[in-house]
A and B are shown apart, each in its own frame.
Chain A
């Protein structure tokens, strides 16, 4: 083990970590927003739209992220979409995540007992108020752990972006590995840095979980 290596590559790894966080954050925000819209569209009783969103979900969810990134980045220019590597990466992560998030939101909607919604409606609550006060709080309880899972998976999909030269963490570590052939040092850095990132996301998830379940435990 050569720990001096970490000093030498420290700045590169740190900047890679920052780029990974940026891509993850951008991709996750885009994916959550897009996923929520897709989940809402699926609830509309307009069949062609339901069919279309279903196809979107199945195709995006069913194919490897690497291929989607490849099509967007290498195939994009042939139909006039020329983005730089990092923007392509964030966009691809957002699209990829949205399919999974849409499914999680759908499950969340299903977890709300219909009786509660009917009761609120009979009390004269407006549909938007029902969404905000009844549906969202109940669905969040059911889906925060699954959302955290997916956010973690998305954070690890960022490694694929190294292929199209996004200077993220994996790219920097592969540079270190290629220049020095230090295999163990690279694997160790990978294990620790990604673990730290995931642990941060998981902890944030647990804080949110405690907050959204507070009303249940408070009532008990």
Chain B
């Protein structure tokens, strides 16, 4: 182990981590919105909508993110659509994450006892209130640990966006490892920075969990 290698690389890795962080956060936000929307489609009584939800999840969860990124950035130009690198990166992360988030929400929704919604309905609660007051809080409480899992996975999966030419933390660590021939030191430093970011996500998740449990 050579500490000097780590010290030299640290500022550059930290800078690249900034790119990882902001792109991931935008991808996460997009993924939550898409996930909720696709989940609504998936549980909808309208068959075409439910069908769309199923196909969406199958494709975006089934095809590797690497391939999705390559498709968006390198194949769409063939049909005349040229997507800028950052849009391709954030869009692909959000689209893929949406498929996983949808499934987490759906699982949570099934777990909320049906009797509760029925009871509220018979007491004359309007549907919007049933969702907001009864279903959503419980869904969130049940799905939070899996959601935090997913956010952490997305932050790490963002390493793949280097294929559209965006230099993020993993790419930066690879180029450093290749020029210094000290891969272990560099990768451990990068892993440490990922860990710090993910601990923040986990802490935010734990805080939200406590608040939901209290409310």
Contacts and interface: CB of A to CB of B under 8 A. Distances in A.
A–B contact (CB under 8 angstroms): yes
Interface of A: 58-59, 61-68, 70-71, 74-75, 100, 103-104, 106-107, 110-111, 113, 138, 141-146, 148-150, 152-153, 156, 159, 187, 190-191, 194-195, 198-199, 202, 213, 216, 220
A65 B157 CA distance: 10
Given A74-B184, A103-B148, A145 B106 contact: yes
Contacts of A58: 195, 198-199, 202
Given A110-B145, A191-B64, 16 more contacts: A58-B195, A58-B199, A67-B188, A74-B184, A113-B113, A142-B111, A146-B143, A148-B103, A190-B66, A191-B67, A191-B71, A194-B67, A198-B61, A202-B57, A213-B110, A220-B114
Contacts of A65: 156
Interface residues of B, number: 49
Contacts of B195: 58-59, 62-63
A34 to B, nearest CB: 16
Interface of B: 57-59, 61-67, 70-71, 100, 103-104, 106-108, 110-111, 113-114, 141-146, 148-150, 152-153, 156, 159, 170, 183-184, 187-188, 190-192, 194-195, 197-199, 202
A80 B123 CA distance: 67
A190 B64 CA distance: 8
Contact of B107 (A63, A74, A146): A146
Given A142-B111, A191-B64, A61 B149 contact: yes
5 contacts: A64-B191, A146-B143, A152-B61, A198-B58, A199-B62
A67 B146 contact: no
B71 to A, nearest CB: 8
Given A59-B195, A70-B187, A110-B141, A141 B111 contact: yes
A65 B155 CA distance: 12
B58 A64 contact: no
B184 A143 contact: no
A146 B146 contact: yes
Contacts of A145: 103-104, 106-107, 110
A202 B153 contact: no
B187 A66 contact: yes
B152 A62 contact: yes
Nearest to A188: B67
A149 B146 contact: yes
A59 B197 CA distance: 11
B62 A198 contact: yes
Of all A-B residue pairs in the complex, the 3 with the closest CB atoms, nearest first, are A145-B107, A142-B111, A62-B198
